[in-house]
Amino acid sequence: MLQPERRGRVDYRPTYEAMQAFTEARGEATPDALWLCEHPPVFTQGLAGQAGHLLAPGDIPVVATNRGGQITYHGPGQVVAYPLIDLRRAGYFVKEYVYRIEEAVIRTLAHFGVTGHRVAGAPGIYVRLDDPFSHAALAGPTHPADPFRGLGKIAALGIKVSRHCTYHGVALNVAMNLEPFSRINPCGYSGLATVDLSTIGVPVTWDEAASVFGQKLCTRLAP
């Protein structure tokens, strides 16, 4: 059974390299893993990343990666989860894998009284800025000129699948310095607001959030 492994605060690049090495070395009998960590400040660029979305990195390093998606930020106060899953053995495909990760985020937010939302075509989880505790579903189609109107992003997702095995993962914002998000177009979207649990009124520690999130991921990612 999948169990969360707490890795603490670790540099991004060696963690990325460790994920690659784990995935390249694993065989059919290698147990799946779930690494939970936080990183010192770093911008990570996905394969689809465009230089124009990196506005003003300043003294924060930028690391190019082989995950999907655009640019995002990792920093202290964010729970970063790296599921290392053999999808063929688990019995589901990439689209369902993404759905299951997003569902784990939604269930984690619900544990703390917050309602998370999906936005079609934009992986990750969002909350209402005016009332993050409202249980009402998002009404009607999104605004064509601004699909994120009234929303803030609280979790970003970017994955890689190699030989049916996953790495990279999902980041849940808990209690961060959000200023670095203003130095990029988060996930490639200009002006997209980014929030964390702290700024929407949920005073939870990193350890508490990591504990809940790790268990929700283990439950949702089970075969």
Q: Specify the pairing of strand 71-74 against strand 151-162.
A: unpaired
Side chain identity at residue 134, one-letter code? S
Work out the angle at residue 220's Cα, subtended by the Cα atoms of residues 202 and 122, and round it to the nearest 5 degrees: 70
For residue 91, name the pLDDT band (cuts at 50, 70, 90).
Answer: very high
Q: Is the sign of the CA dihedral 68, 204, 10, 22 positive or negative?
A: negative
218 included as an active-site residue: no
Domain range 4-136+150-220, CATH architecture = 2-Layer Sandwich (3.30)
Cα–Cα distance measured from residue 192 to residue 39, given in angstroms and rounded to the nearest whole number:
22
3-state DSSP assignment of residue 161 = strand
User: Mean pLDDT score of the chain, rounded to an integer?
Assistant: 94
pLDDT digits (tens, 9 = 90+) for 34-64: 999 999 999 999 988 888 899 999 999 999 9
Interval 181-199: pLDDT, tens = 999 998 788 888 999 999 9
How much is the pTM?
0.95
Is residue 73 a contact partner of residue 186, using CB atoms and an 8 Å limit? yes
Residue 142, CB-side half-sphere exposure with 13 Å CA sphere: 16
Query: Of 37, 165, 187, 218, which one is the catalytic site residue?
Result: 187
* All structural domains of the chain with their residue ranges: 4-136+150-220
